[in-house]
């Protein structure tokens, strides 16, 4: 990929994604293998006026080695210095920029109990930080770039260099970063979200009935005073930002107690470096009462066992199959991209901004109003080309607004 294109991509992450302001602290998460791009993002952040840019380096090989070889007791405690570091950065109003290039099979074969324990202890220790990001007190954004392992997973049977080049083309196109002025293109793109969100908020449906040819048949109640949002978020400081590059979804808050029926996933889920494949859930009164997976069911079980909220839904998101990523007909094995090709649900914590005045509610008040709380927020895809969604009004009136994978009422 040529350097000029990469610089535009880095600038997009800084200026449209995190929307870095003059004098801000910026924290960039990046693997050591992608240092060349991480440094481009760092330079772009300084050019945008950042006062300090910290590089939070990681190494996938070292991560895997730790899970395979470290002393077992180390997976039950989280270093206090890491908590203190996050708090210091959060107190300064840091903008967090993430560069994702993970191998979907990074932790394949790792003891699932180690993964479960570490996930729970780390998420518990960093919950205060997660709450600040979910409430938009802190701005953040994430982009993806190819790694050899990821590219080969998406394009098996292709030489590594060719697979990387092909994945670059797909990622930049999907993130609308392949034009001459990606920032201007994103400014236009955000306007496309407005009419769909306005329509759904005007309808104020009480519930959705969702069906697919794979076997999904779900009646999903929506939280009272729910709000549909999509695309651009607004930080607590009034500064707009795009958390995900790409993004194609319009999403809202389900009522944690009102999901009934069967949901069949349409894509594998990459979770904790493992691929969960051909899985489904059965819900009753908002809770998962049965589940199964053909591959890595133990990983799925551990995810659901994180806490009580992990068995309930925190998000429902609608994506048109005609989105650029949907039209690629490619399984990316990466939630950032796959969730923007397909309608999806999220198990776990709800976004407070999906409820009127939700950002001002305590966790207990949010849960009492129908929102979900959990240590996790895990998106999984269930949209198909034949998906149908019926909106059910508070008076029982039914409106088909999405059919055969597309919006029909707009």
Identify whether 105 is part of a domain: yes
pLDDT band for position 409 (cuts 50, 70, 90): confident
Strand partners, 400: 390
pLDDT at 329 over 90: no
Do 170 and 112 belong together in one domain? yes
Regarding whether 156 and 278 lie in a shared domain, the answer is: no
- pLDDT surpasses 90 at 272: no
Query: In this structure, are 228 and 359 located in the same domain?
Result: yes
Find, among 379, 338, 158, the residue nearest to 251 by Cα: 379
Which tokens hold the place of 208? 């959705």
Quick: pLDDT tens for 160-192.
999 999 999 999 999 999 999 999 989 888 887
Residue 6 in this model has a pLDDT that exceeds 80:
yes
Please say if the pLDDT value at position 117 is more than 90.
Answer: yes
Checking if the pLDDT of 1 tops 80, the result is no
Whole-number average pLDDT of the chain: 94
**Rounded Cα gap, residues 373 and 358, in angstroms:** 12
DSSP-assigned beta bridge partners for residue 98: 29, 142
Residue 280: φ, ψ to 5°: -155, 165
Is 107 found in the same domain as 32?
Answer: yes
Which pLDDT score is estimated for 193? 83
Does residue 18 sit in the same domain as residue 94? yes
Q: Among 145, 162, 182, where does a domain finish? A: 182
Question: In terms of pTM, does the model score above 0.85?
Answer: yes
211/214 Cα distance (integer angstroms): 8
pLDDT of residue 2: 87
Output the pLDDT for position 335. 86
Distance CA 348, CA 372 (A): 7
Question: Whole domain around residue 126: which residue ranges?
Answer: 3-182
Domain count, the chain: 2
Residue 188 lies in a domain: no
Residue 175 to residues 97, 183, 185, 238: CA-CA distances in angstroms?
15, 11, 10, 24
């Amino acid at each position: 990929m040529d350097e000029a294109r990469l610089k535009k991509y880095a600038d997009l992450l800084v200026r449209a994604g995190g929307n870095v302001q003059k004098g801000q602290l910026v924290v960039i998460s990046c693997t050591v293998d992608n240092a060349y791009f991480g440094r481009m993002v760092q330079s772009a952040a300084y050019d945008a006026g950042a006062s300090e840019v910290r590089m939070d380096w990681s190494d996938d090989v070292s991560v895997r080695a730790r899970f395979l070889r470290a002393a077992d007791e180390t997976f039950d405690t989280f270093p206090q210095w890491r908590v203190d570091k996050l708090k210091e950065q959060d107190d300064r109003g840091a903008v967090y920029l993430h560069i994702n290039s993970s191998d979907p099979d990074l932790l394949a074969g790792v003891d699932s109990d180690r993964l479960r324990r570490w996930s729970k202890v780390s998420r518990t220790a960093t919950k205060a930080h997660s709450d600040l990001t979910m409430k938009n007190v802190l701005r953040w954004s994430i982009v993806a770039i190819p790694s050899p392992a990821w590219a080969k997973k998406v394009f098996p049977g292709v030489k590594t260099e060719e697979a990387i080049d092909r994945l670059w083309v797909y990622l930049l196109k999907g993130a609308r970063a392949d034009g001459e002025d990606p920032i201007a293109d994103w400014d236009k793109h955000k306007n496309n979200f407005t009419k769909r969100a306005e329509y759904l908020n005007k309808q104020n449906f009480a519930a959705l009935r969702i069906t697919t040819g794979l076997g999904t048949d779900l009646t999903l109640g929506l939280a009272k005073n729910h709000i549909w949002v999509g695309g651009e978020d607004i930080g607590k400081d009034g500064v707009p930002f795009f958390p995900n590059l790409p993004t194609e979804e319009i999403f809202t808050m389900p009522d944690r107690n009102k999901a009934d029926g069967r949901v069949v996933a349409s894509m594998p889920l990459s979770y904790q470096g493992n691929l969960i494949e051909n899985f489904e859930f059965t819900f009753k009164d908002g809770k998962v009462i049965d589940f199964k997976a053909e591959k890595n069911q133990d990983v799925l079980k551990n995810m659901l066992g994180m806490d009580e909220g992990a068995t309930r839904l925190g998000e429902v998101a609608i994506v048109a199959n005609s989105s650029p990523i949907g039209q690629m007909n490619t399984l990316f094995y990466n939630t950032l991209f796959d969730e923007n090709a397909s309608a999806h649900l999220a198990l776990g914590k709800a976004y407070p901004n999906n409820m009127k005045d939700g950002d001002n509610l305590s966790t207990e008040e949010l849960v009492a109003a129908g929102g979900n709380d959990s240590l996790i927020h895990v998106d999984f895809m269930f949209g198909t080309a034949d998906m149908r969604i019926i909106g059910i009004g508070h008076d029982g009136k039914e409106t088909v607004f999405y059919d055969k994978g597309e919006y029909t009422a707009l």
